[in-house]
Amino acid sequence: MSNETKLLKNSINKDISKKEKINHYLKKSFYIWATFVPFFAIILDLFLSIIQADPKNGTSTINFDFSLINQLIYLSTWISMASFAYGLLNWINLDHKNMPSWISNKNNLTRVTTLNLIMFLVYNLTSIIDLISGSNNIVGFNNWYKILKSVLEHMISPLMFIMFYFWNSKEIIATKTYVKKYSWYNFLMIAIYSLFISIRAIFLNTYYPQIFNPDGQTIGGAFTPFPYGQISPIMPDNKPIIITIMGILGLLISVWLIAIFLNFISNLFIKKIIKNNNIK
């Protein structure tokens, strides 16, 4: 082998090594973000809802138990915890290579990215509608720490996950294969969450119902028995139970369809990169 060939080979190897090192640091940076930022947003709201109680909840959340349940009943908290778990486990795996393969595979990333995308779309679309309608009632924008939490949890983190998803995905999984074998992963957390809020609502409404004054204001009983008034079958919203069922089914189907769409788009993205790099 000539000296020129050796020099060229060494140069190529150095470039590859440098690129791998950059990719490693970018991955690690994202995993650190996913580990700390969503968890920080939850803890920030949990503690400051006690220290600086949100006027919307009166003095209810100065009780630690109420403040904690005020986090757990909302889907965004569960999504943030899923993001935290994904970031932490993949951070550990990146450095120690001691996690099951499913932790870092494309399907798990598709699942967590789908959840973040759902949260991003629902929160930001409803906020835009509130702005256009002039109601000035954007959820999570009534004090400084809730604004910080909303920006980190509902805006920046989902966008980070979406960008990382398309940057990091290297595996092509055919749409038919994904639908048949892997798409059901996306039902698990949503189903468990829906079961949790439903069982909680049934027990509270049966054994510890809310108490209202003549003006319809809550003066006692359960604290927020159902988190989403739009589909709540419990007073004061009192929606037909079919609305509640349709709302939960609609969420499950939406998550399933978005996951399939993300996998499909990522396949096209990977194929385009392969084509541009002339890799057969």
**pLDDT at residue 186, as a whole number:** 96
Whether the Cβ atoms of residue 207 and residue 200 lie closer than 8 Å to each other: no
pLDDT at 178: 97
List own/partner pairs for 207-212 with CB under 8 A and 24 or more apart: 209/235, 210/234, 210/235, 210/236, 212/236
Q: CA–CA separation, 211 vs 162, rounded Å?
A: 44
CA distances from 228 to 138, 149, 164, 198 (A): 15, 19, 30, 11
CA-to-CA dists, residue 127 to 54, 59, 154, 244, angstroms: 19, 26, 11, 22
In whole angstroms, how large is the CA radius of gyration of the chain?
Answer: 23
Q: What is the mean pLDDT of residues 56-69?
A: 80
What confidence tens digit (pLDDT) does each residue in 92-142 have?
999 998 899 999 999 999 999 999 999 999 999 988 888 888 777 777 788
User: Which pLDDT does position 14 carry in this prediction?
Assistant: 54
Range of the domain at 108: 3-276
Predicted pLDDT of residue 142: 83
User: How confident is residue 238, by pLDDT bands cut at 50, 70 and 90?
Assistant: confident
Total number of domains constituting the chain = 1
Report pTM.
0.89
Residue 37 clears pLDDT 60, i.e. is over it? yes
